[in-house]
């Protein structure tokens, strides 16, 4: 399990096993047999790391992706690329053909409307699952969901759409063997939201917190999540019709992090003093999110900080206990928060090596 936290005596869930401390997860083997993976979202932050891990472990990867410069990078790594789009269904049947394991990462993380979230996070999942159900022997599916989907009721459009995607998979559980992972905040080299938002405030020495009182979070380093995804693709119970728990796993590093602790740890990794954390009343948070959306609309983008994200900031507890994943999947998180932040910062300093 992870070693020391950035402060001593950090809160930890009992995980039931001990493991190595430090470093990143080694690529797992698959009994000597080359496993053919289909990965959706392979051009993204998590997907690109997962693709490298699979290829390093002797597996093969087919990536379902829209044409972009990032697909060329996947081909250079040795992955096959099928051009397609889950929002329309184009290319899905071709990508599914011959897959032995499917890891579904593609998702809409920010959007202006509920319909835009649902188009990929629910309907895109439905297109993929129907394609899997149509083959003679459906491959095992791992759906990467989010703590925003549960177990607590969703408070954001994103969370509700991810929960709807989970429900689609559950409805096909009698035909498609599937596992659902719900990670907490995922961070590491190439992560596009947490560090880019925090670092400017860390350098100024002042960080804002949405609302008053303690805010607690579960975090997981990206390579540890990739190891969990591969473990879920390889072993453990699958979803059962009518059973809301079996085959669904919360994923974190086993620690509970308060917001001020996250900020102090990142500051320490970046060589700065611990920042002053100032609470911002929630009405002010919502107003700032609305202004950010207006500015984004003028530029044709949806900002990472938006009204849907502000809805999630109202919830003070985003923690989870990954004991089921440790026990049933053999999941062993290996990276401390300090180590993970250090590696992410190193990648920011040398962006060409972070891909």
24 found inside a domain? yes
128 found inside a domain? yes
Phi, psi of 251 (to 5 degrees): -125, 120
Q: How many domains does the chain have?
A: 1
Residue 134: other Cβ atoms inside 10 A: 12
Q: Whole-prediction pTM value?
A: 0.91
Is residue 262 a contact partner of residue 216, using CB atoms and an 8 Å limit?
Answer: no
CATH number at residue 233: 3.40.50.720
Does the pLDDT value for residue 151 go beyond 60?
yes
Residue in the structure block whose two tokens are 């698959």? 30
Mean predicted confidence (pLDDT) in 233-240 = 96
Q: Alpha helices of the chain — where are they, by DSSP H?
A: 45-56, 69-77, 92-96, 114-121, 123-133, 157-171, 194-204, 222-234, 259-270, 282-299, 307-313, 323-329, 337-349
Residue 178: the pLDDT is: 98
Mean predicted confidence (pLDDT) in 11-35 = 44
Confidence of residue 29 (pLDDT cuts 50, 70, 90): very low
Task: Tell me the pLDDT of the chain averaged across its residues.
Answer: 90
Mean predicted confidence (pLDDT) in 52-78 = 93
Residue 77: the pLDDT is: 93
Positive or negative, the Cα torsion across 43, 254, 336, 313?
A: positive
Does the pLDDT value for residue 16 go beyond 90?
no
195 found inside a domain? yes
15 found inside a domain? yes
> How far apart are the C-alpha atoms of 228 and 220, rounded to whole Å?
10
Confidence of residue 351 (pLDDT cuts 50, 70, 90): low
Is residue 6 a contact partner of residue 339, using CB atoms and an 8 Å limit?
Answer: no
Which secondary-structure segment (H or E) carries 156?
Answer: none
> How far apart are the C-alpha atoms of 220 and 238, rounded to whole Å?
22
Does the pLDDT value for residue 11 go beyond 90?
no
33 found inside a domain? yes
Confidence of residue 28 (pLDDT cuts 50, 70, 90): very low
288 found inside a domain? no
Of the candidates 109, 142, 107, the residue with the CA atom closest to the CA atom of residue 124: 107
Instruction: Give residues with Cβ within 8 angstroms of 316, minimum separation 6.
Output: 211, 213, 214, 215, 216
297 found inside a domain? no
6 found inside a domain? no
Mean predicted confidence (pLDDT) in 92-119 = 96
Residue 244: the pLDDT is: 87
| Structural domain that includes position 341 | 11-275+302-346
Mean predicted confidence (pLDDT) in 312-338 = 96
């Amino acid at each position: 399990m992870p070693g020391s936290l950035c402060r001593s005596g950090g809160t930890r869930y009992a995980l039931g096993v001990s493991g190595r401390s430090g470093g990143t997860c080694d690529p797992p083997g698959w009994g000597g047999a080359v496993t053919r993976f289909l990965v959706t979202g392979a051009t993204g932050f998590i997907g690109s790391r997962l693709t490298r891990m699979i290829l390093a472990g002797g597996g093969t990867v087919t990536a379902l992706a829209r044409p972009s410069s990032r697909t060329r990078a996947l081909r250079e790594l040795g992955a096959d690329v099928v051009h397609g789009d889950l929002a329309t269904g184009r290319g899905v049947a071709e990508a599914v053909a011959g897959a032995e394991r499917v890891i579904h990462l593609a998702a809409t993380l920010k959007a202006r409307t509920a319909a835009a979230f649902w188009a990929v996070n629910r309907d895109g999942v439905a297109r993929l699952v129907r394609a899997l159900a149509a083959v003679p022997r459906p491959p095992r599916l791992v759906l990467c969901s989010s703590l925003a989907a549960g177990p607590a009721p969703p408070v954001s459009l994103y969370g509700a759409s991810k929960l709807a995607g989970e429900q689609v998979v559950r409805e096909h559980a009698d035909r498609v063997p599937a596992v659902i992972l719900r990670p907490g905040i995922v961070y590491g080299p190439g992560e596009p939201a947490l560090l880019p938002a925090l670092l400017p405030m860390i350098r100024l020495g002042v960080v804002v917190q949405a609302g008053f009182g303690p805010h607690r979070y579960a975090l997981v380093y990206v390579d540890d999540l990739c190891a969990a995804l591969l473990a879920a693709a390889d072993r453990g119970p699958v979803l059962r019709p009518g059973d809301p728990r079996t085959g669904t796993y919360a994923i974190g590093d086993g620690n509970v992090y308060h917001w001020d602790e996250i900020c102090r740890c990142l500051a320490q990794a970046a060589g700065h003093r611990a920042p002053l954390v100032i609470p911002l009343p929630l009405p002010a948070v919502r107003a700032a999110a609305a202004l950010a959306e207006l500015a984004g609309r003028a530029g044709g983008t949806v900002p990472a900080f938006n009204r849907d994200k502000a809805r999630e900031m109202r919830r003070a507890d985003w923690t989870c206990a990954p004991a089921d994943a440790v026990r049933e999947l053999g999941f062993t998180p290996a990276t401390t928060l300090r180590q993970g932040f250090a590696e992410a910062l190193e990648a920011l300093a040398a962006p060409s090596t972070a891909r």
